[in-house]
Each structure stands twice: as structure tokens, then as C-alpha cells.
């Protein structure tokens, strides 16, 4: 049975946060508000939880979810190489509507789907999302909708689409954002925009100098870019493709998010 909590009420928010954190640790799904739209999230390091997320949305492994983090330190543990401009972009735009596609740390033990060794990472600017992420660590998060339908901007819309497939719904009212996150691929020498969004390319160029603009989208193996920010709208309507795979079919997780299953040591701990 799903539980819903009104996070505009202090006591209910406290109870909801505790329940949501416990649910994530048990491998359940939660719906959480972000600075773009509502997202459906799971423990990024639980393959069964991520598989459950994809199943709830009606998506396959070829459209892996992006990863949201509660701190820059948590993001750095997931990324093998930020390139020349990644740190500058993070300092300028995080927390906020900027998703960075990078080569993932090869020692991570997770399975987000067919990601081709990359990960799409974002630190959202929403107090409820950040509180949960700091409590449980990185989460695989996709827009809270069934694939092919509009992303939920209210908890009611998320409940209508996802129902009891989600354990906990954190309700923070209607989302106010009218643009998705901008997605930038840092796996090349020159940053390139995979999807235009809330941060215009002119602002990116103020930080990085040269930035390649968005090209005609191509469907790659993943949907990382699509949801990379908690999706902005209908995933199958093109946003997921909005991230292309790079010049020659590329190594970028494609239009999706995260990294393929990598084997190894420890998962980065949650950030306080």
C-alpha cells in the first residue's frame, strides 16, 4: 500500500522523509519533487530496485535513468573524469537544472542499464529532494510517469500513473519549472549540448568558452539524457532522444543516463 506525505507540513515532512529513506533502503520506489518535475527514484546501487523503476515506467534497459545526488562530493565519487570544464560548470550551476554526462567511475558496482560506461548526473535545487539524497545517497531517478505519457508535475498526477508500484509519495505541491534541465556531454574534448533546457548555451559559453550546440537528436542505447533531469515531459516524445550518442554513435550513454553494469568495490556513501 502506498503512503503519501504532505511535505509542506513540518511534521508530515519529517515522517515522510523517514519513511521514504527506509523504503529506498529496502529497494522500494519513491516519488519525490524536484526543481523540474516529480521524479520516481530508487537506490542507484540496487539492480533489482532500478529494474523495478524501469518496469514501473514501462521502459527497457536501453533507456537507463540518470542519477541524482545530494552533494558535489557524491557526484565526484560517481564520475571518472569531469574533463576540463566539469568542475567550473558544477560550481556555476549546481544545485540546479544542469545534467552532466560523464565517463563513470569503473569501480562502481551497479547496473543502471545499457549505459556504455557513462553516467548522467545532476544535483537538483529542491529542499525535499536534497534532504532525501543526502540521507540515502545517489538515486536513479526518472520522470514520474509511464513511458509515453506526460511527466507528473503534481503528486496526484504521479499517483494516477504509477499507483501502488511506488511505496512512498512525497508531496511538495505543484512543480513550477517550465523547462527541463540542460544536458551537456563532457566525454569529448569540447563540451556539447545534448538537450537544450533551462540553462541557455550562451551561459554555458560564459563558463567554458567553446560549447557545441545541440545537434539533430539520434537515438542511442540509453535514455540518460532524456530523464537526466527528471524528464521534462513525455519521454517517448523525443526528450529522451534529445541526447545523442556523439559523433559516430559514440560512447556517450547516449540519450539516457547512467552507466552499464560495472563490477567492483564499494559504493560511495551517503553524504551528510
C-alpha cell of residue 23: 523504503
pLDDT for 182 equals 95
pLDDT for 85 equals 96
Cα–Cα distance between 59 and 110 in angstroms, integer? 18
Per-residue tens of pLDDT for the chain, all 272 residues: 999 999 999 999 999 999 999 999 999 999 999 998 999 999 999 999 999 999 999 999 999 999 999 999 999 999 999 999 999 999 999 999 999 999 999 999 999 999 999 999 999 999 999 999 999 999 999 999 999 999 999 999 999 999 999 999 999 999 987 688 999 999 999 999 999 999 999 999 999 999 999 874 443 333 444 444 444 443 332 333 222 333 333 344 433 332 222 222 233 332 22
Q: Are strands 182-185 and 79-81 parallel, antiparallel or unpaired?
A: unpaired
Q: For the domain with range 3-256, which CATH number is right: 3.90.870.10, 3.30.2000.10, 3.40.640.10, 3.60.20.30?
A: 3.90.870.10
pLDDT for 179 equals 80
pLDDT for 272 equals 25
Show me where the domains of the chain are located: 3-256
pLDDT for 176 equals 80
Q: The pTM is what? A: 0.82
Cα–Cα distance between 105 and 113 in angstroms, integer? 15
C-alpha cell of residue 221: 542505447
C-alpha cell of residue 232: 521534462
Q: What secondary structure letter does DSSP report for 41?
A: E
Degrees, nearest 5: CA angle 263-89-221: 40
Cα–Cα distance between 35 and 210 in angstroms, integer? 27
For the chain, the residue count is: 272
Dihedral pair phi/psi, residue 269, rounded to 5°: -75, 165
pLDDT for 254 equals 34
pLDDT for 225 equals 45
pLDDT in tens, 80-98: 999 999 999 999 999 999 9
C-alpha cell of residue 130: 536534497
pLDDT for 103 equals 96
Q: Per-residue b/e over 198-235, b at no fewer than 16 CB within 10 Å?
A: bbebebbeeebeebeebeebebbbbbbbbbbbbbbbbb
pLDDT for 161 equals 98
Cα–Cα distance between 58 and 221 in angstroms, integer? 16
pLDDT for 177 equals 77
Nearest alpha-carbon partner for 65 in 206, 271, 259: 259
Q: What number of CA atoms fall less than 13 Å from residue 121's CA on the CB side?
A: 33
Q: Are strands 79-81 and 98-104 parallel, antiparallel or unpaired?
A: antiparallel
Amino acid at each position: 500500500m502506498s503512503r503519501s506525505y504532505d511535505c509542506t507540513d513540518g511534521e508530515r515532512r519529517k515522517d515522510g522523509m523517514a519513511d521514504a529513506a527506509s523504503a529506498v533502503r529496502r529497494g522500494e520506489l519513491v516519488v519525490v519533487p524536484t526543481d523540474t518535475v516529480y521524479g520516481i527514484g530508487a537506490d542507484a546501487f540496487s539492480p533489482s530496485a532500478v529494474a523495478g523503476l524501469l518496469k514501473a515506467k514501462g521502459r527497457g534497459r536501453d533507456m537507463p535513468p540518470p542519477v541524482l545526488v545530494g552533494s558535489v562530493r557524491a557526484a565526484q565519487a560517481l564520475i571518472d573524469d569531469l574533463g576540463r570544464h566539469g568542475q567550473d560548470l558544477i560550481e556555476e550551476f549546481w544545485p540546479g537544472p544542469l545534467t552532466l554526462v560523464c565517463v563513470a567511475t569503473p569501480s562502481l558496482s551497479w547496473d543502471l542499464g545499457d549505459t556504455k560506461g557513462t553516467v548522467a548526473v545532476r544535483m537538483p535545487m529542491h529542499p525535499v529532494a536534497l534532504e532525501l539524497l543526502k540521507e540515502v545517497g545517489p538515486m536513479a531517478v526518472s520522470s514520474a510517469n509511464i513511458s509515453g505519457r506526460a511527466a507528473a508535475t503534481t503528486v496526484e498526477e504521479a499517483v494516477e500513473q504509477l499507483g501502488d508500484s511506488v511505496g512512498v509519495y512525497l508531496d511538495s505541491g505543484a512543480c513550477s519549472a517550465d523547462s527541463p534541465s540542460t544536458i551537456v556531454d563532457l566525454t569529448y574534448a569540447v563540451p556539447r549540448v545534448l538537450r537544450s533546457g533551462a540553462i541557455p548555451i550562451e551561459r554555458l559559453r560564459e563558463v567554458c568558452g567553446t560549447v557545441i550546440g545541440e545537434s539533430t537528436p539520434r537515438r542511442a542505447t540509453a535514455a540518460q539524457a532524456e530523464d537526466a533531469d527528471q524528464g521534462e515531459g513525455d519521454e517517448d516524445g523525443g526528450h529522451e532522444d534529445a541526447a545523442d550518442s556523439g559523433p559516430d554513435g559514440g560512447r556517450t550513454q547516449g540519450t539516457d543516463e547512467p552507466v552499464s553494469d560495472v563490477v567492483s568495490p564499494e559504493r560511495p556513501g551517503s553524504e551528510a
